[in-house]
A = this chain, B = another copy of it.
Amino acid sequence: MLDTLFNHKSIRKYKNTEVDNNTLNTMLSAGTRASTTGNMQVYSMVVTKDESIRKRLWECHFKQDMVLQAPVHITFCADFNRFNKWCEQRKAVPGYDNYLSFFTAAIDALLVSQNVCLAAQEMGLGICYLGTATYNARRIIDILRLPRGVVPVAAVVVGYPDEEPGLTDRLPLEGVVHYERYDDYSPEDIDRIYADKEALEQTRELLEINQKETLAQIFTDNRYKKQDNVLFSKEFLDVIRKQGFMNNG
């Protein structure tokens, strides 16, 4: 298990080998063993294999090739719909149409997703998280017919790897861990923490290709731009509201 954790790589090329139902059920069951708030399990996993639906999802996920290639697409959703229905059928009045409930359900869904991914990797499958699930939540809701009370928070593709990438770089542990309390970063800390990343051959290539002076500029100007973030922020908050999670009193 430690090996699986330490050898995690996102896979972006897949064989067209099917994932059999036993393997799939093992992954999904591993997901259900994750801790959830009050053991309420306020999440759902939507497993999509159908090509025509996957093609529509691919459009939501910026048309990344791997979304078409990988035979299995799983959308992890914050889901209070099932729990609310249960309450209503049991003479209980649910009070879960608010932001805290959304966030609680999102935590559930995300911990479950990581279990599913690790189980998949343990069984020789590859996975890749699609950060785009929240960007285009509204279209995903439409495609997957998610009812009120359900919001997609993560998506992954799953399949047999058709590449063997190396481990990607990480910041040194001291860069992301604080002891006792948060120790804010001095300019020297920042220089030291990002030094190895900035010195990578890959970084030099990116600067060359993108014609930028610093790696940080590639993030701010090309990859994760303010104007996109602002647009997706409004969109996602609106989706959370429309799915019934913004009645905060």
Contacts and interface: CB of A to CB of B under 8 A. Distances in A.
A193 B2 CA distance: 34
A215 to B, nearest CB: 7
A114 B175 contact: no
A41 B173 contact: no
A227 B86 contact: no
Interface in A1-50: 1-8, 10, 25-26, 28-30, 32-35, 37-41, 43-50
Contacts of A100: 134-135, 229-230, 232-233, 236
Interface string A51-63: 0010000000000
A107 B110 contact: yes
Interface residues of A, number: 124
A26 B38 contact: no
Instruction: Kindly report how many copies of this chain are found in the complex they form together.
Output: 2
Contacts of A10: 35
A85 B150 CA distance: 35
A213 interface: yes
A170 B223 CA distance: 40
A162 to B, nearest CB: 19
Contacts of A214: 90-92
Contact of A32 (B93, B176, B232): B176
A50 to B, nearest CB: 5
A187 to B, nearest CB: 6
Interface of A: 1-8, 10, 25-26, 28-30, 32-35, 37-41, 43-50, 53, 77, 79, 81-83, 85-87, 89-96, 98-101, 103-104, 106-107, 110-111, 113-115, 117-119, 122-123, 128-129, 131, 134-135, 143-147, 150, 153-154, 167-171, 173, 175-182, 184-185, 187, 190-191, 193-194, 213-217, 219-221, 223-227, 229-234, 236-237, 247-249
Instruction: Give the top 9 A-B pairs by smallest Cβ distance, nearest first.
Output: A95-B226, A1-B1, A90-B216, A92-B216, A90-B214, A230-B249, A114-B114, A99-B233, A98-B233
Given A6-B29, A38-B223, A46-B177, 18 more contacts: A1-B1, A1-B3, A5-B30, A6-B30, A32-B170, A33-B167, A38-B224, A39-B169, A82-B185, A83-B219, A87-B216, A87-B219, A91-B213, A95-B220, A95-B225, A107-B131, A111-B129, A150-B182
